[in-house]
């Protein structure tokens, strides 16, 4: 693939970028009352409003020409057909096959059947130890892609599930100890979630769980363990009964694995039918991605607009801000998806990139964020493109599974949330000029001198881009579509930037170095094998460790 920045389409975009020195979103909206209709799109039940981005029709035409020049349609076809798009590991990235329903590979369908069998039995209180006491608590032990997808899906679709309760533990030590202190070993099932079955944190937690069962007088651990992994033999050696080992495959990337058996804890929390809905929502988005014309293709448009802001406006970070209870974990899930996929500096052929790749992604629940970091979003010197995500109606009582406030209260709370969500994106776009601010201050009765003094501090520059994504309601199907949308957005950017979105070599060195540092914490010999800072930190922390 030609070097991106040397392509004709890229050069056209560079020229077009210059025209944005004179443009403002405020003027574009004033000049075109149809701007929202022109730059919004519905697909798979979702609405994308991309009208508040630094785009005009010509911008999208040029970006679509770039996508065409990069052979995007063929790349999408290869991805969805299960071709080896993971060029460094020579593997497919065929997460779409996991939600292909009847067309899914046999091993996928068989695994879903086995997942459904266990999840239904657990929800029907039909499994337990030899004494047949029902399992009351399921503890998922996993990290990264082996936790964020199912934790997000469970929080979004079944936050109040009680039979059985589903817990997610990532970090060894305190959090597991604290949880185990509240559980009954006889009615607890651990699911060890690890594609590699070698992730240190997860294995430490699994060993701690086994020791806890032992200490609780449970000799036969088998009924209290299940595993989700691509390393079945290792899981069996750990002591997980073979009928409780759910396979993963090397063609499923960890951060794309919610749809596989990694989703088992979510299926237990939300029920097998709801999990099927999650898969169906994602399959809807796969079909849209595969068939919609690029200019009407939601993942393609989101990706290209994101690339435009990142590469042509040097916006080094982007924020994803859900105004939606149940989506608090979305930014965490997306951080891994995008930063582990797009945090690359060489092309698929190993050549250094000539332009930036993935921006830093951050975010949190909007209602809280607006009382924390929105100050910078509105008045900081570095514009940050934002994705606002919400829904048109509050979650139904039935989908929540627990007692909830009255319908009118829920509607009221939802309207408050939507009004804040829409107000923030409007102000980021529109801004409030110093003159308007001064006028307002005068109308509040301030003196001309005081108004002039305060106006620059209170004015909002505006012209700050954002997308708004609206779900009809947050449920399993809309969540499936939303997450698949972001997976495909991520792929499109990797395709244009010519990077491999499906490997993560950069995380391996840290694991190895941490492994070599660990024994030094129990050694009586001062650390002296590293740089002076690392040695210094190891020795200082050992000297100041109050427990030893
Ligand atoms: O260290 C990063 C990573 O390999 C992620 O890509 C992955 O999702 C996570 O660790 C957990 O890996 P595993 O499922 O093999 O335990």
Catalytic annotation on 487? no
528: how many CB neighbours lie within 10 A of its CB?
Answer: 10
pLDDT digits 0-9 by tens, 180-217: 999 999 999 999 999 999 999 999 999 999 999 999 99
Which ligand 1 atom lies nearest to the CA of residue 193? 14
Which ligand 1 atom lies nearest to the CA of residue 199? 16
- For atom 3 of ligand 1, the residue with the nearest CA is 144
Ligand 1 contacts (CB < 6 A) are 143-146, 194-196, 199, 202, 254-255, 340, 504, 507
| Per-residue pLDDT, 127 | 57
Which residue among 146, 253, 334 is best mutated to probe the pocket of ligand 1, counting the most ligand atoms within 8 A of its Cβ? 146
CB 364 within 8 A of CB 321: yes
Which ligand 1 atom lies nearest to the CA of residue 254? 8
- For atom 8 of ligand 1, the residue with the nearest CA is 145
Q: Is the pLDDT of residue 401 over 80?
A: no
| Per-residue pLDDT, 1 | 77
Q: Quick one: pLDDT band at residue 407, thresholds 50, 70, 90?
A: confident
Place of tokens 């075109």: 32
Ligand 1: centre distance to CA 180 (Å): 24
| Per-residue pLDDT, 402 | 47
Q: Return the closest-CA partner of residue 46 out of 467, 396, 391.
A: 391
Q: Quick one: pLDDT band at residue 492, thresholds 50, 70, 90?
A: very high
Ligand 1: centre distance to CA 146 (Å): 7
- The conformational region for residue 270 under phi > 0 = left, psi -120 to 50 = alpha, else beta, is alpha
pLDDT digits 0-9 by tens, 35-66: 999 999 999 999 999 999 999 999 999 999 99
Ligand 1: centre distance to CA 145 (Å): 6
Catalytic annotation on 371? yes
pLDDT digits 0-9 by tens, 420-466: 999 999 999 999 999 999 999 999 999 999 999 999 999 999 999 99
CB 155 within 8 A of CB 278: no
What values do phi and psi take at 415, rounded to 5?
-65, -40
Q: Is the pLDDT of residue 403 over 90?
A: no
Ligand 1: centre distance to CA 147 (Å): 9
Which residue among 199, 264, 508 is best mutated to probe the pocket of ligand 1, counting the most ligand atoms within 8 A of its Cβ? 199
Q: Which of 201, 340, 438, 487 is catalytic?
A: 340
Ligand 1: centre distance to CA 143 (Å): 6
- For atom 13 of ligand 1, the residue with the nearest CA is 194
Distances 249 to 93, 150, 353 between C-alpha atoms, Å: 10, 17, 30
CB 193 within 8 A of CB 141: yes
| Per-residue pLDDT, 406 | 73
pLDDT digits 0-9 by tens, 102-128: 999 999 999 999 999 999 999 987 655
Q: What is the mean pLDDT of residues 136-145?
A: 97
In the chain, % of residues over pLDDT 70: 96
Dihedral over alpha carbons 314, 316, 322, 327 (to 10 degrees): 140
Catalytic annotation on 511? yes
Q: What is the mean pLDDT of residues 310-325?
A: 98
- For atom 6 of ligand 1, the residue with the nearest CA is 254
How far apart (Å, rounded) are the C-alpha atoms in residues 239 and 403? 39
Q: Which of 371, 457, 509, 544 is catalytic?
A: 371
| Per-residue pLDDT, 2 | 80
In this structure, the strands spanning 386-393 and 137-141 are: unpaired
**First-to-last CA distance in the chain?**
57
360: how many CB neighbours lie within 10 A of its CB?
Answer: 14
pLDDT digits 0-9 by tens, 220-278: 999 999 999 999 999 999 999 999 999 999 999 999 999 999 999 999 999 999 999 99
Q: What is the DSSP string of 448-494?
A: HHHHHHHHHHH-B-----EEEEEEEE-SHHHHHHHHHHHHHHHHHHH
Which ligand 1 atom lies nearest to the CA of residue 146? 14
CB 218 within 8 A of CB 128: no
pLDDT digits 0-9 by tens, 375-394: 999 999 999 999 999 999 99
Ligand 1: centre distance to CA 501 (Å): 15
Ligand 1: centre distance to CA 68 (Å): 33
């Amino acid at each position: 693939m030609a070097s991106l920045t040397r392509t004709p389409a890229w050069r056209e975009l560079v020229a077009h970028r210059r025209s944005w020195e004179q443009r403002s979103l405020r003027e574009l909206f004033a000049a075109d009352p149809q701007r929202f209709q022109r730059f919004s799109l519905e697909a798979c039940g979702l609405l994308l409003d991309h009208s508040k981005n630094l785009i005009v029709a010509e911008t999208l035409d040029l970006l679509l020409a770039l996508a065409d020049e990069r052979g995007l349609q063929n790349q999408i076809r290869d991805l969805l057909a299960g071709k080896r798009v993971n060029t460094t590991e020579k593997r497919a990235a065929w997460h779409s096959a996991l939600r292909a329903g009847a067309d899914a590979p046999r091993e996928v369908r068989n695994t879903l059947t086995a997942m459904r069998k266990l999840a239904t039995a657990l929800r029907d209180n039909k499994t337990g130890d030899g004494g047949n006491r029902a399992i009351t608590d399921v503890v998922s032990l996993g990290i990264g892609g082996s936790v964020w997808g199912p934790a997000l899906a469970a929080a979004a679709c079944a936050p109040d599930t009680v039979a059985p309760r589903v817990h997610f533990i990532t970090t060894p030590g305190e959090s597991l100890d604290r949880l185990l202190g509240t559980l009954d070993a006889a009615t607890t099932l651990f699911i060890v979630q690890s594609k590699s079955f070698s992730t240190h944190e997860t294995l430490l937690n699994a060993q701690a769980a086994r020791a806890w069962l032992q200490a609780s007088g449970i000799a036969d651990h088998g009924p209290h363990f299940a595993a989700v992994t691509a390393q079945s033999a290792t899981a069996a050696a750990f002591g997980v009964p073979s009928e409780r080992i759910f396979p993963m495959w090397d063609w499923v990337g960890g951060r794309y694995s919610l749809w596989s058996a990694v989703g088992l804890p979510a299926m237990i929390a939300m029920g097998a039918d709801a999990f099927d809905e999650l898969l169906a929502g994602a399959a809807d988005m796969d079909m849209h991605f595969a068939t919609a014309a690029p200019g009407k293709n939601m993942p393609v448009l989101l990706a290209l607009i994101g690339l435009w802001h990142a590469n042509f406006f040097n916006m080094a970070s982007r924020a994803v801000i859900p105004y939606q209870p149940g989506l608090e974990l979305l930014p965490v899930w997306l951080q891994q998806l995008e930063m582990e996929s797009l945090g690359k500096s060489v092309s698929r052929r190993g050549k250094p990139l000539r332009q930036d790749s993935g921006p830093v992604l951050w975010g949190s629940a909007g209602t809280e964020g607006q009382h924390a970091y929105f100050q910078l979003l509105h008045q900081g010197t570095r514009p940050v493109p934002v994705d606002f995500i919400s829904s048109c109606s509050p979650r139904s009582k039935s989908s929540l599974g627990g007692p909830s406030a009255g319908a009118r209260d829920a509607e009221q709370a939802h309207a408050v949330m939507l009004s804040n969500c829409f107000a923030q994106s409007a102000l980021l776009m529109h801004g409030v000029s110093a003159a308007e601010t001064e006028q307002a201050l005068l109308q509040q009765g301030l003196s001309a001198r005081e108004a002039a003094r305060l106006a620059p501090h209170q004015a909002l520059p505006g012209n700050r881009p954002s997308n708004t994504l609206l779900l009809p309601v947050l449920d399993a199907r809309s969540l499936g579509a939303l997450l698949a949308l972001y997976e495909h957005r991520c792929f499109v950017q990797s395709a244009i930037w010519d990077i491999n979105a499906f490997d993560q070599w950069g995380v391996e060195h840290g694991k190895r170095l941490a492994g070599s540092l660990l024994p030094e914490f129990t050694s009586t010999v001062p650390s002296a094998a590293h740089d002076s800072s690392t040695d210094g930190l190891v020795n200082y922390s050992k000297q100041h460790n109050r427990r030893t």
